[in-house]
Structures are given as C-alpha cells and as structure tokens.
A and B are shown apart, each in its own frame.
Chain A
Amino acid sequence: MTYPDGEFGTWVNETFVAVKLNLKDAGVEAQKYGVVWAPWLLLVDENGEQISWTVGPLSPSDYRAWLERVQLDHTSFQDTAKLLAVDPNNPDMNMMVGKHYLEAGNWKKAIEHLTVAMKGTGVAKADTCMDACIALGKAAARAGDTAALQAAIDCLGKCAKGGEASVALERVHAKLFAGQFEDAAKEYDSLLKEHGTDACAAEAWYWYGVAQYQATKKPDGLMEAWQKLIEIAPDSEWAKRASMTISK
C-alpha cells in the first residue's frame, strides 16, 4: 500500500498502532489470520483478535473510509454487546453483533448470534430475514457447519430468493483461504457459469483470479479473470482493486 504523507499519516498515528509485515517473512501471522494475498490489511484489537480485513490496494480516500467505518462499527459493537447482555434474544442486536463477528472471521460466534437473529426476525420482514439468512449462510459455509448452513438455506427459500449465490461464494472462499487453490479455482469457475450475472459476480471474478495465480504461480489466469471483471463490473470496488494492482 502507498501511504500519502501529511494529514492521513498523522491521523493513522494518532488513531492506530501500525505495523507492516512482509508476507514471505510473516508465515505465523499470515496463517493465523488466513492471509493469502498482498496487500492485505487487518485491524485487530489489543489482544490480537481480528476485527476486520480487506485486500488492497485502496485509494487513500477509500482506505480512510474503510478504517473509519470499521472503527465506528467496532465502537457500536462494543455498545451493543453490553445491551445484548440484558436482552439476549433481541433479533436486531443479535444481527448487528453476528455481522460484526462475521466480518471479524469469528464464525462460531457469528453463527450463534445470527441464528438467534434469523429465528427472531421471521419471514414477515423479508428483507431483514434474507439479510440474516445470507449472513448466517456465509458464516456456516466458512465454518463448515452443515446444520447451520442448511438452516440458512431453508430459511432463504421461505423469505427470499437470490441469496444462494452469496452463500455459495462463501463456500468457495472457505477453500481458497484454507489454501486449496486448485479446488477453489475450479469452483469459482463453476459458480460464475451458474451465477455470472448475480450481484456477487464481481467479487467471484476477483478471487477466481487470485485462486488461479496461487494455483499456478503464473499470471495468465489472473489477468484473464481480472480483465473480465473490469469488463463486466467496471465500477465495482473489486474492479478498482484489480485495476490498481495491474497498473503497478
């Protein structure tokens, strides 16, 4: 990542403790946080628990926006977690806390809270229900929790259509982040053939490129996938990241 001098640097120093790690020398940390690409940005708390992550490169404005959003979400999470202790079955608060854990990569806690959110919301609020089902499905797919995954898929069938691709994508991500690059590449390809026009297609093309590169250590498949991504979703955040990486 390129860090602009000036006010941004001052703000980072005042707000965070920053550390740069070379991926090839930081195997222990990379494995702990599931890092498979660079630049890869993490925010962790003082105990080393992951709060959020993203891949770069990002423009300075996008970078700052991400940091500010995560910081704000973390503060809200801490406040909501205290309230949840008093009202543990509140679906809205469970949704908020569950999504925080999902973003942080704490699948077990995410499943626990999102299950309560999904059951508590019910199909009467279709949008919220779909939101809970998809989030639960993502966490379950990453955790390999087949019972929770099936519950999420069953619920999706009742409250909404269209979330299946997002959940399927997360199942493939689980393989990629576990280092099963060849399998992941094949499954991204299959998913894109089936769901190539869904909202999550841009994200799938991005990671399809990464999986191909990691499987072959050759840039051909990566470039082909990212060119396709830039062609089909030029305004997406994923296309921006691919373009910035290609232009370096």
Chain B
Amino acid sequence: MLRYALALLVAVPLAAAESKVTWKKTLDEALSEAKSSHRLVLVDFFAEG
C-alpha cells in the first residue's frame, strides 16, 4: 500500500510536467539543444499586456 502511494506521488507530478510545453529562455539555448537533438525550433514571439 505504501509502495503504491509513493509511486502515485511520484507519477502524478511527472505526468503533469510532461503535458506542458517546456520553454527555453533564449534562442541560442534553443538552437544549441536543436543541434544535439536534430529537432526544429519553434519560436513564439509574444507581446505583454
């Protein structure tokens, strides 16, 4: 039972984290990761307010 509860505690936050887009803070950081993972970079320019 305890093992089950611990597994649930670990699994729930992980599942939630996976469902949100992970944003890099700079384009350079994104390009660097894209080079190592061979993925394209999605850039979202936004305006505040």
Q: Which residues of A contact B (CB under 8 A)?
A: 1, 3, 5-7, 9-10, 12-13, 15-24, 26, 29-30, 33, 35, 38-48, 51, 67, 71, 74
Q: Which residues of B contact A33 (CB under 8 A)?
A: 43
Contact bitstring B5-19, A, C-beta under 8 A = 1, else 0: 000000000001011
Given A23-B45, A39-B45, is A48 in contact with B19 using a C-beta cutoff of 8 Å? no
Contact (Cβ within 8 A) A20 B41: no
Chain B contact-residue range equals: 20 to 34
Q: Which residues of B contact A24 (CB under 8 A)?
A: 47-48
Contact (Cβ within 8 A) B23 A18: yes
Contact (Cβ within 8 A) B45 A38: yes
What's the Cα separation between A117 and B19 when bound, in Å?
44
Contact (Cβ within 8 A) A13 B18: yes
Residue from B22, B37, B41 within 8 A of A44 (CB atoms): B41
Contact (Cβ within 8 A) A71 B19: no
Residue from B22, B29, B41, B47 within 8 A of A23 (CB atoms): B47
Contact (Cβ within 8 A) A19 B29: yes
Q: Which residues of B contact A6 (CB under 8 A)?
A: 19
Given A29-B27, A46-B38, A47-B31, is A19 in contact with B20 using a C-beta cutoff of 8 Å? no
What's the Cα separation between A42 and B38 when bound, in Å?
17
Q: Which residue of A lies closest to B16 (CB)?
A: A5
What's the Cα separation between A5 and B44 when bound, in Å?
16
A-B contact pairs, 28 of them (CB 8 A): A1-B46, A5-B20, A9-B19, A9-B20, A10-B18, A16-B39, A17-B24, A17-B33, A17-B39, A18-B30, A19-B24, A19-B27, A19-B30, A20-B23, A21-B27, A29-B27, A29-B43, A33-B43, A38-B46, A39-B46, A40-B44, A43-B42, A45-B34, A45-B40, A46-B31, A46-B39, A46-B41, A67-B42
Contact (Cβ within 8 A) B46 A23: yes
Q: Which residues of A contact B40 (CB under 8 A)?
A: 15-17, 43-46, 51, 71, 74
What's the Cα separation between A43 and B27 when bound, in Å?
12
Residue B25 lies at the interface, judged by CB distance under 8 Å to chain A: yes
Q: Which residues of B contact A (CB under 8 A)?
A: 16, 18-27, 29-31, 33-35, 37-48
Q: Which residues of B contact A10 (CB under 8 A)?
A: 18-19
Contact (Cβ within 8 A) B46 A20: yes
Residue from A18, A22, A42 within 8 A of B46 (CB atoms): A22
Contact (Cβ within 8 A) B27 A41: no
Q: Which residues of A contact B25 (CB under 8 A)?
A: 19
Q: Which residue of A lies closest to B43 (CB)?
A: A42
Output the residue of B22, B25, B37, B43 with the most chain A CB within 10 A: B43
What's the Cα separation between A10 and B16 when bound, in Å?
10
Residue from B19, B22, B35 within 8 A of A18 (CB atoms): B22
